[in-house]
Structure 1
Amino acid sequence: MKTRPIFHQHLFQHKWGYLLGSGLLTISLVLQLGVPLLLEDFTDGIQHLSIQVSDLWNLAVWFIVLGIGIFLFRSSGRIYIFRLSRMLERDLRTKLFSHWETLPADYYQQERIGNLMAHAVNDVNILRQIGMQGVFQTVEAMVLISITISMMAGTIDLYLTLLVLIPLPGLTYLAYRFRTNIRMHSSKVQEAIGTLTSRVQEFCTGIRIIKTYVQEQEEMKKFTKENVENVKANKRLIRSNSLFTSLSQGIVGLSYLLSVVFGSILVMKGTITLGEFVAFNTYLSFLVAPIENLGKVINLFQQGKAADMRLSDVLATTPDIKDEEGIFRLNKFEGDIRIQNLSFQYKNSKGYALRNINLTIKKGTSIGIVGKIGSGKSTLVNLLLRVYNPPKKSIFINNYDIHDLPLKTLRTSIGYVPQTNFLFSSTIKENIAFDPSIYQDKDIYKAAKQAHVYEDIIDFPEGFDTPLGERGFSLSGGQRQRVSIARAMIKKSPIMIFDDSLSAVDAKTEELILKTLQTEMKGRTSVIISHRISTIRKADQIIVLDEGKIVEQGTHESLLERNGTYKKMFVQQSNEFTLEDSIPSSYSERTVRIKKRRG
């Protein structure tokens, strides 16, 4: 079944409101037609010198009454119709944002930010304009044209009316010829705006790198090229719009010329009076604006059709990751995790990111995950959070298949510190308390102390109320990581995941944080991913990933007893301050040799 376009849905939903607004506008247009009748009587009275002073006063009163009536009904209809279009704008942006929140992570890897912004701003604005000017001017044109032509033909002269209307069907032909071009050029403009917006966003995000590598000129060249393409796309749209509008005005002008020439002849022959001629041309002047606007409305509706299609495509995108039928309505669960024969492959990827992973993590225990870049560490975490969908019957929490758990419960029950420490451009306090739960200041301060960032924060002039810049770049890398840790710690979730979350802090701070975590994580399950052995060496169990497979598994001490990948990583990372404390005695002589060689 074909889905009804977005604007049609809105129009149908608010049909009574639009009918009321259209009715008020129609009343004002009917009142407007009284003006030519007054002008006709006035002109004939002047011509025959039969008009009196009292008639002038009556005429003035009628003009005032009609003016007030036109103003009241027209403005009321306009306000009512425009209010409904603003409701469309509000509801559509809310619906769009709400839908984006349901879409998986790979959607945002494929879509440019500029395109998303163009949808939320430009496309929605076009549909709003259709709801405002489009509806208003369409109703005005249909009503005014029909009743004006009826008055011209019925009260003045049928043949003169038919004569001046001869050129007007050309507007329909023009609309037919131009509609495809205008819709195509409108889509190109939106694409160009999306590309340009993405360029600006990328520039703002990477400004430090651009300056460091002295790439200002190169970035300017890229921006100039895309800016030129944007201007070209707009020029093509403007050219089509201008040509259509000019030809439409030419057709209207031809009708006006026919009216003046042949109407004057009829006056001289006595077929119509001078007052009727004035009234006829006044009626015709009423037609000029609606017919010109009709051309603009046709163009607007073509742009709107393209915008409607783009937004419909976005809203029709179905999320792969969602609550399925028959899920268990759990509000919370404990931290037992079991992974069974898990293999995972990203879309459009030839190889597997994870291969045959089997793992058991008991409640209240900790697991360290190490491995080189691209070995599958973050992929495993993303599957636990269902950022991506794992195969069914491969990940179990408390013996429930992860697919059978509500997404909200799953993610609420997991505290997560991501590898990329994203902070929002709000205050430090709001970033730490970024959770549906409501926290007191004492809770926020405690979490900051647990992450050992409290002293740094209170040194700022505004303390916890310090506003952060874009992505939190006003903080150092280590401070951003520790604020992210505080944000996860405040949740007190039964499962905590730390994805390489201490890489930007110094060794001393890392040791302090790890000591605090050992105390705070008692009774809770923790998953710690790191490139540093020092971060995960005290975990209850450690796994080493390589090319998506578990190649080694055990405790720190047992893994060091092997001549495997873990020991090689440990030796590479060790230094003269930590080697003797970390390596068993059987390796002490080798340790001394390594120290001497480095010294």
Structure 2
Amino acid sequence: MERKSIIWKHIKEHRMSYLFGFALLSIASVLQLVIPTLLGVFTDRLEMAELTYKEALTFALWMVLAGIGIALFRSSSRIFLFRLSRLLDMRIRDELFKHWETLSTHYFKNRRVGDLMSHAISDVSVIREVTQNGIFNTLEAVVLISITVVTMVTSVDPLLTLLTLLPLPLLSVLAYRFKRRIQKESTSVQEAIGDLTSRVQEFVAGIRVVKSFLQEKEQIRLFRQDNGHAVAMNRKLVKSNSLFGALSSAVVGFSFLVSVVLGGIMVLHNRITLGEFVAFNSFLSLLMGPIENLGKVVNTMQRGKASEERLLAILNTRADVADDSNADPSVQTIGGEIEIRNLTFCYPESKEPALRNISLKVPKGTSLAIVGRVGSGKSTLVHLLVRLYNPPKGTVFIDGREISEIPLQVLRGHVGIVPQDQFLFSTTIRDNISFDPKPYRDEEIEQAAKLAQVYDNIVEFPNQFQTALGERGISLSGGQRQRVSIARAIIKKPSILIFDDSLSAVDTETEDRILEGLDTVMENRTTIIIGHRISSVQSADQIVVLEEGELVERGTHESLLEHNGIYADMYHKQLLDEATRQQEQEWEEEAVDGVSDYKEPVQSRQGGEVAAAQDSRAGTKLASGGRAG
């Protein structure tokens, strides 16, 4: 169901608490009328020279007691009402975060991190300000203005009250004229804050690239540009607020002018007493604060409306990947048999299908390798298997059951995936490996690290498994991040294990050790391996080759080599590249040895004949190294 309001829903749910806070504020407002009334009586008694010392002390005592009562009830109402606004603040952030977790990766793919942070921090803070100062000032203005005007009419003079308050409706006209302007400028301010936050987040995440390419000055320029834009937007909003405040003060000042001039004339004509004149102006002074605050409330409400619309746009976004109505709650585990039937899939923002007419079957406990060029659809296929995107109906089945019938929590809880980006959280290595609702013992964590061939690296750190990682695991190398990601996937002992090009950042020797250690993990588990290196996929039970989203080859390593197609071409190219790298490495080692042999006799000076012989041998090796180059 679409939500239409955040603020009013909160007020409705806590209406009894708001009524109690309103009652406290009303008592404080009534007590504020006591002091002007006492001042009026005090002035009349003083003018008539009838004031005694005892009466003066009595007046002073009542004023002090009224002041204490005002402070007590007003502060109590503020604390009570402000507490409710903080509850809303916390509640919105909780709801926002929970709602984000229900949305698919497609939602976050099209949005900047800075904008999301701006929603969670800046927009929520504006909403809190509406329910905090906005509601408090509105309630105080309504109560105080109402009872003060009634008191002014009944205790002083109706005509003077009417003429004095006559200019005040102009404030409503001003508020209406500034309404759209302030709301529009407030939206621009929030967007500028989002741009600035995104710039900082992007800089921090890419600090290595910035420094490697000497882009510090350019980043400073871009930051100043966004910072300047944010300042400019805030200045426009401040100008509008200041202009509205100045015009509001002018209207209020004109009311005071009317009060002083007409009230003074009435005192001279004995229409009202001097005490009534003093009391009237004291009453009017009480009104000025709430009336001016109403102007601020209009500004706050318009800013709040802009922020509320931005937040509602998120909260009303429906999750496009969720448990279907046909999901079977009785399914608590999966075996691992995978079948894909005539799968054609197109991303929401794309017109061309990423996958076309894919059909294959992976029996339980067997392994499937997927190879292909960049952009051929390998990762897309994996994303559909864990329902990061919804596959078309009747195309993807697990254990003979359509994937939409399996609850998401069960599906993802029994699938272990090592993604391409190897994202690690800025917590400890232990927490990253045991990143699962299920708790794990230290022995299980260490065993997973050993199978992933990262244990030896971890124990070299001073804090070992308690080593805290930086942002996105920046303190680890690319290969170490990949191996920690592998450990994180295999520790949960899933029914289906997916490696999405997860060995690209390790050398071939480490790759061989990882694959050897994973043999026991992959046993009796359905395993899908996506890779560019033939060495990491050649032992799979079946291998498929994707080309531009289509399945063009399938078979075992030997049968695909005999087929002499794309797979065989990739295999021979990698063999050639490996042989070339090996030869170059041998030549470099020979060249280094030659330089070492050349330098030693020169430094030692141990006889002419020995030196000559060594120089001759070194020259031969250097010549060999030069041909290699």
Q: TM-score range by the shorter chain?
A: over 0.9
Q: Quote the residue 2:624 is aligned against.
A: none
The residue that corresponds to 2:357 in the other structure is 356
Superimposed CA distance per residue, residues 205-261 of structure 1 (whole angstroms, 9 cap, x where no aligned partner): 111112211222222222222222222211211111111111001100111111112
SS at match of 1:44: helix
Cα distance in 2 for partners of 1:50, 1:438 equals 84
Q: Which residue of 1 aligns with 2:137?
A: 137
What is the Cα deviation at residue 118 of structure 1?
Answer: 1.3
Q: How far is the alpha carbon of 1:347 from its aligned partner?
A: 1.5
Give distance in 2, aligned partners of 1:499 and 1:382.
Answer: 10
**Distance in 1 (alpha carbons) for counterparts of 2:391 and 2:4:** 34
Residue in structure 1 matched with residue 407 of structure 2 by the alignment: 406
Equivalent in the alignment of 1:447: 448
> Match of 1:559?
560
Matches within 5 A, 1:54-73: 54-73=54-73
- Equivalence for 1:288: 288
Q: In the TM superposition, what is the alpha-carbon distance from 1:577 to its structure 2 partner?
A: 7.5
Cα separation, 2, equivalents of 1:576 and 1:484: 28
Q: Which amino acid aligns with 1:150?
A: V
Distance 1:576 1:32 in 2: 88
In structure 2, distance between residues paired with 1:497 and 1:101: 22
Residue 458 of structure 1: how far off its partner (Å):
1.3
Pair 1:422-2:430 in alignment? no
- Distance of 2:217 and 2:387 partners within structure 1: 42
Instruction: Tell me how far apart the structure 1 counterparts of residues 327 and 165 of structure 2 sit (CA, whole Å).
Output: 67
Maintained 8 Å contact 2:365/2:527: yes
Give the fraction of aligned pairs with identical amino acids, expressed as a percent: 53
The secondary structure found in structure 2 opposite 1:457 is helix
Matched, 1:475 2:459: no
Deviates more, 1:380-389 or 1:273-282: 273-282
CA distance in 2, matches of 1:348, 1:504: 30
Which runs of 5 or more structure 1 residues have no equivalent in the other structure? Answer: 580-597
| SS in structure 2 of the partner of residue 574 of structure 1 | helix
Match of 2:496 in 1: 495
- Tell which deviates more after alignment, 107-116 or 266-275: 266-275
For each residue in 1:329-387, what CA deviation from the matched residue of structure 2 results, as whole angstroms up to 9, or x when unmatched? 21111110011111111123121111111111111111111111000000000000100
Indicate whether 1:298 and 2:303 are aligned: no
CA-to-aligned-CA distance 1:157-186 (integer Å, 9 cap, x gap) = 111111111110100100111101111111
Aligned pair in 2 of structure 1 residues 530, 284: CA closer, same or farther (>3 Å)? same
Alignment of 1:194-233 (within 5 A): 194-233=194-233
- Match of 2:364, SS state, is coil
Question: Could you tell me how far apart the structure 1 residues matched to 2:56 and 2:488 are?
Answer: 79
Query: Which deviates the most, 130-139 or 308-317?
Result: 308-317
Q: CA deviation at 1:190?
A: 1.0
Instruction: Specify the code of the residue in structure 2 equivalent to 1:195.
Output: D
CA distance in 2, matches of 1:352, 1:97: 32
Q: Deviations over 1:271-301 (max 9, x none)?
A: 2222111111110110111011000001111
Q: Distance in 2 between matches of 1:564 and 1:426?
A: 46
State the AA in 2 paired with 1:484.
S
- Tell me the residue number matched to 1:333: 334
Instruction: Please say if 1:322 is aligned against 2:322.
Output: yes
In structure 1, the partner of 2:153 is 153
Query: In structure 2, do the counterparts of structure 1 residues 450 and 192 end up closer, same or farther at CA, with 3 Å as the change threshold?
Result: same
Cα separation, partners in 2 of 1:301 and 1:473, compared to 1, 3 Å: same
TM-score norm. by structure 2 comes to: 0.90
SS in 1 for 2:436: coil
Q: Deviations over 1:133-160 (max 9, x none)?
A: 0110000000111111111111011111
Partner of 1:594: none
* Residue aligning to 1:393: 394
- Corresponding residue number in structure 2 for 1:591: none
Question: CA–CA distance in 2 between the matches of 1:575 and 1:439?
Answer: 44
C-alpha distance in structure 2 between counterparts of 1:575 and 1:433, whole Å? 40
| Dislocated runs of 4+, deviation >6 Å | 576-579
* 1:62-118 Cα shifts (integer Å, max 9, x gaps): 122212221221111111111111111111111111111111111111112222111
Partner Cα distance (1:78, 1:446) in 2: 57
Deviation at 1:576, TM superposition (A): 9.0
Partners of 2:74 and 2:65 in 1: CA distance: 14
- Indicate whether 1:112 and 2:112 are aligned: yes
Counterparts of 2:100 and 2:471, CA distance in 1 = 21
Query: How far apart, in 2, do the equivalents of 1:497 and 1:116 lie?
Result: 30
Q: Answer whether contact 2:497 2:526 (CA < 8 A) is retained.
A: yes
**Which secondary structure state, in structure 1, belongs to the residue aligned with residue 532 of structure 2?**
coil
| Partner residue, 2:26 | 26
- For the residues of structure 2 that align with 1:476 and 1:20, how far apart are their CA atoms? 59
Q: 1:472 to 1:3 in 2, by over 3 A?
A: closer
- TM superposition shift of 1:4: 3.1
| 1:182 match | 182
One-letter identity of the residue aligned with 2:22: S
Distance in 1 (alpha carbons) for counterparts of 2:441 and 2:82: 43
One-letter amino acid matched to 2:352: G
- Equivalent in the alignment of 2:593: none
Whole-angstrom CA distance in 2 between matches of 1:263 and 1:203: 65
Q: Give yes or no for contact 2:326–2:404 (8 Å, CA) kept in 1.
A: no
Q: Aligned with 2:563: secondary structure? A: coil
Equivalent residue for 1:310?
A: 310
Q: Distance in 2 between matches of 1:319 and 1:343?
A: 22
Question: Partners of 2:577 and 2:20 in 1: how far apart?
Answer: 84
Q: Does the CA contact (< 8 Å) of 2:2 and 2:316 recur in 1?
A: no
- Are the equivalent residues in 1 in contact too, given 2:3–2:315 (CA < 8 A)? no
Aligned residue number for residue 41 of structure 2? 41
The Cα shift of 1:38 comes to 1.2
Task: For 2:577 and 2:307, locate their aligned partners in 1 and report how far apart those are by CA, in whole Å.
Answer: 64
Looking at structure 1, the residues matched to 3 and 88 of structure 2 have their Cα atoms a distance apart, in angstroms, of: 18
CA separation of 1:84 and 1:576: change in aligned 2, threshold 3 A? closer
**What's the offset of the Cα at 1:48?**
2.1
- Residues 333, 292 of structure 1: CA spacing in aligned structure 2 closer, same or farther, 3 A cutoff? same
Does residue 431 (structure 1) correspond to residue 432 (structure 2)? The answer is yes
The aligned runs of 1:450-469 (5 Å cut-off) are: 450-469=451-470
User: Aligned residue for 1:191?
Assistant: 191
Shift of 1:2: 7.5
Residue equivalent to 1:235: 235
Residue correspondences, number:
581
- The answer for the alignment partner of 2:607 in structure 1 is none
2:417 & 2:160 partners in 1: Cα distance? 79
Q: Determine the C-alpha separation between the residues in 1 that align with 2:206 and 2:2.
A: 43
Alignment of 1:372-387 (within 5 A): 372-387=373-388
SS at match of 2:106: helix
SS in 2 for 1:561: helix
Alignment partner, residue 514 of structure 1: 515
> Residue type matched to 1:268 in 2?
L
Structure-2 residue corresponding to 1:585: none
Give, in whole Å, the separation in 2 of the partners of 1:314 and 1:2: 11
553-562 vs 402-411, which deviates more? Answer: 553-562
Quote the Cα distance in structure 2 between the aligned partners of 1:442 and 1:62: 75
Per-residue deviation, 1:419: 0.3
Aligned-pair Cα RMSD in Å: 1.6
Partner Cα separation in structure 1 for residue 382 and residue 551 of structure 2: 15
Query: 2: distance between equivalents of 1:116 and 1:375?
Result: 31
The alignment's TM-score, normalised by the length of structure 1, stands at: 0.95
Q: Secondary structure at the match of 1:168?
A: coil
Question: Any idea what the Cα deviations from partners look like across 1:35-69, whole Å, max 9, x if unmatched?
Answer: 11111122222222222222122222212221222
